[in-house]
Structure 1
Amino acid sequence: MNKSYLVTWALAQFLGTLGIDRFYLGKIGTGILKLITAGGFGIWALIDLIMVLTGNTRDKNGQPLEGFEQHKKVTRIVTIALLVLGLLSGGCSAMLTAGNVTEMM
């Protein structure tokens, strides 16, 4: 049975630094490595997410993920939206922190 693109994308998006996407695909060895390195310090997790979004991820048997063509547009939009929201919230947080530091002086 082929693994789901949508499940793999969600796991890579939200739990990629823990290697859960790799465990789901049956790649236990690299899942453990990804887990103990926090997703290769985030770099490996990002690369895996990009690989999933471009349809280049396969399960341990080399089979493509089921549902890529059907869900690729939505997952790309959601990923970009989450990235933008993360950047905006990080920027707002930095501005608030900078304001608090200025008030303390």
Structure 2
Amino acid sequence: MLETMLSDEVQTARGRDAGIAPALKNKSVQDQFMKGVGFAAGKNVVAFFKLEFAAPRKGTPYDKLAITEVSNVLTSVLQGKKDVNTALRDAEELTIKKIESEIASKK
């Protein structure tokens, strides 16, 4: 099944007719991208493949603390207890305090 989905034929058809970016770096597959999608006619869609994406950001030892705090405050947003801006400000303040506390405990 995976072999079929990644075949040149399937990737070409999906890219040409459905506008789904191919997972292959095959130039002939990329050249067919969006050819069957009407609104893309005359557009420079092959430029999509010339983009260079930034390298992923390296994590820090404190990322987990921040993620936990953001998750906690977003729950309060979903429950209607806080607005988004207040919740994110609270998460930032709590995260900074926890990071400072962790740094101090390592000294």
Report the TM range for the smaller structure's normalisation.
under 0.3
The alignment's TM-score, normalised by the length of structure 1, stands at 0.26
The alignment's TM-score, normalised by the length of structure 2, stands at 0.26
Please state which structure has a larger fraction of its residues in helix: 1
Between 1 and 2, higher relative CO (CA 8 Å, sep ≥ 6) is seen in 1
Q: Which has the larger radius of gyration?
A: 2
